[in-house]
Amino acid sequence: MFNKIKMILLACIFLPMAAQATDLKVGDIAPNFKLQATDGHYYQLSDYLGKQVVVLAWYPMANTRGCTLECKSLTQKGHLIREYNAAYMMASVDDLEDNQKFAREQKADFPMLSDPSKETAKAYDVLNFVRVASRVTFYIGKDGKIIHIDDDIDTAKAAEEIVANLVDLSVEKAD
């Protein structure tokens, strides 16, 4: 318990300074992942190939201020994102139980992925020096290539920013 509190305090102090862009670039093939979500299902990028754009929003830690604001935005305004042919999900290195509790408290109606091994966070190059994920959102095209990377996220307006990016990327509306 003490280590978790210590990690949260360190994250609150250092995360604003730790936000760094990933080494992945637009045009790169996005690393495949298979992660369990708060709904108990496993999600993997390859399941969306040829079907939908994927919006993968990495966040540092459940139950922190910024992450709560981001989750609330995606929950309250997720209907705007669902107007597009895009699947959206949040991901962190928190364990599944922490994410499930967080998702229940925030009434999240979208997948919140857990990467406790930190392997996927490493593959996306978002694992920072505090050993949590930096807040970076990846937009992955139906061909599996990264089409946009956003590392300047207004957590309170995350859903509106995702929609604006989907429009800018000319993602088609859902059927």
- Helix pair angle (158-168, 65-76), 10° resolution: 60
Q: Report d(CA 71, CA 59) in Å as an integer.
A: 9
Residue whose pair of structure tokens reads 């490493």 in the numeric block: 122
In a domain, 173, yes or no: no
The C-alpha torsion from 143 through 58 and 151 to 164, rounded to 10°, is 60
In a domain, 62, yes or no: yes
Mean of the pLDDT values across residues 149-153? 95
Q: Where do the DSSP E strands lie in the chain? A: 34-37, 42-44, 53-58, 86-92, 112-114, 137-140, 146-150
91 pairs with which residues across the strands? 58, 113
Range of the domain at 15: 2-168
- Number of domains making up the chain: 1
Which residue numbers are catalytic?
67
Q: Report d(CA 67, CA 61) in Å as an integer.
A: 7
In a domain, 104, yes or no: yes
Q: What is the pLDDT of residue 32?
A: 97
Whether the pLDDT of residue 84 is over 90: the answer is yes
Mean of the pLDDT values across residues 137-151? 97
H-run or E-run covering 52: none
Q: At 35, which CATH number?
A: 3.40.30.10
Mean of the pLDDT values across residues 25-44? 97
In a domain, 175, yes or no: no
Mean of the pLDDT values across residues 110-118? 96
In a domain, 174, yes or no: no
The predicted model scores a pTM of: 0.87
Whether the pLDDT of residue 39 is over 80: the answer is yes
139 pairs with which residues across the strands? 55, 148
Q: What is the pLDDT of residue 10?
A: 43
What would the two tokens of residue 79 be?
């209907």
